[in-house]
């Protein structure tokens, strides 16, 4: 692995390349925070895709793409006279030191749970910290991830189930309420109850230390893989899926499942 000096040299090289691109490349020179934002979102999702595949070569590549955006925004900030990459790094270091008094101070934290609980308290004590417990959850987060983060932040201040098994009573309660509204035919109320049901399921996943977004993505990929097998087998038989019965497709689906077992 690289030495500290090699890492610093590599980061300095990246900053030099960014400066040169910003000055000499027409595309790079015209970019703004607003124009880069969609690309940044895409790069973050590509990194997440590599992470869930556990592909280290792709993770390394995508981390580089995300890092490029970080130094790009910092360069734009320096051109405006607002901040530069040193400000970004120093502000981050100051925040990390402040939020880890069990490492840099005399506070004791014996578990990750204690660290998380202290973290939320410290965030609210910061000069520019969150004014409320949930204000630090970005509005733009995808709803599934946002629900998980909301529940996790509430947990950090003690608002949580005392026994995680009790959450299943809430899940059953919500699904019963959902069924009742679906039977009534009220679309608006059914939508709200479906949201409550999903929220309770996400709560259950959190209590059992399962990331719901990862779990759903694994299932998405499994479905795509199995459905692709069904399509391929149908094609080999000279048939199209729309002309097959559900029972015929189920036979191929079961074959796909057996191949993975």
Rounded Cα gap, residues 104 and 120, in angstroms = 17
Contacts of 139 (CB under 8 A, 6+ apart): none
- Supply the pLDDT for residue 112: 77
Looking at the domain assignment, is residue 161 inside a domain?
no
Last residue of a domain, one of 58, 82, 106: 82
Distance from C-alpha of 191 to C-alpha of 169, rounded to nearest angstrom: 21
Of 56, 82, 108, which residue constitutes the final position of a domain?
82
Position 97 in a domain? no
Q: What CATH number does the domain containing 64 carry? A: 1.10.287.1080
Question: Does residue 43 fall inside a structural domain?
Answer: yes
pLDDT digits (tens, 9 = 90+) for 91-138: 999 999 988 888 888 887 777 777 776 766 777 676 566 678 888 888
Amino acid 129: pLDDT: 61
What pLDDT, on a 0 to 100 scale, did the predictor assign at position 252?
Answer: 96
Q: 9 is in which domain, residue-wise? A: 4-82
Domain boundary among 82, 101, 125: 82
Q: Which residues of the chain have pLDDT under 70?
A: 117, 119-120, 124, 126-130
pLDDT score at 131: 72
Q: Can you give the pTM of this predicted structure?
A: 0.67
């Amino acid at each position: 692995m690289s030495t500290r000096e090699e890492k610093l040299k590599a980061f300095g090289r990246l900053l030099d390349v960014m400066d040169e691109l910003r000055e000499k490349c027409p595309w790079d020179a015209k970019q703004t925070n607003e124009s880069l934002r969609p690309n940044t979102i895409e790069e973050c999702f590509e990194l997440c895709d590599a992470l869930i595949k556990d592909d280290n070569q792709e993770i390394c590549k995508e981390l580089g793409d995300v890092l490029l955006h970080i130094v790009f925004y910092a360069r734009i900030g320096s051109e405006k006279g607002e901040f530069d990459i040193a400000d970004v790094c120093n502000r981050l270091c100051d925040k990390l030191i402040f939020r880890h008094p069990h490492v840099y101070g005399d506070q004791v934290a014996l578990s990750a749970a204690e660290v998380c609980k202290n973290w939320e308290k410290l965030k609210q004590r910061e000069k520019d910290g969150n004014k409320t417990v949930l204000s630090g959850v970005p509005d733009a987060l995808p709803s599934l991830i946002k629900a998980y983060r909301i529940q996790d932040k509430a947990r950090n201040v003690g608002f949580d189930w005392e026994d995680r098994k009790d959450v299943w009573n809430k899940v059953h309660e919500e699904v019963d309420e959902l069924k009742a509204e679906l039977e009534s035919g009220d679309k608006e109320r059914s939508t709200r109850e479906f949201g409550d049901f999903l929220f309770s399921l996400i709560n259950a996943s959190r209590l059992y230390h399962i990331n719901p977004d990862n779990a759903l993505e694994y299932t998405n990929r499994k479905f795509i893989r199995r459905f692709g097998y069904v399509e391929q087998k149908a094609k080999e038989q000279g048939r199209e899926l729309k002309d097959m019965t559900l029972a015929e497709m189920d036979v191929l689906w079961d074959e796909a499942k057996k191949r993975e077992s």
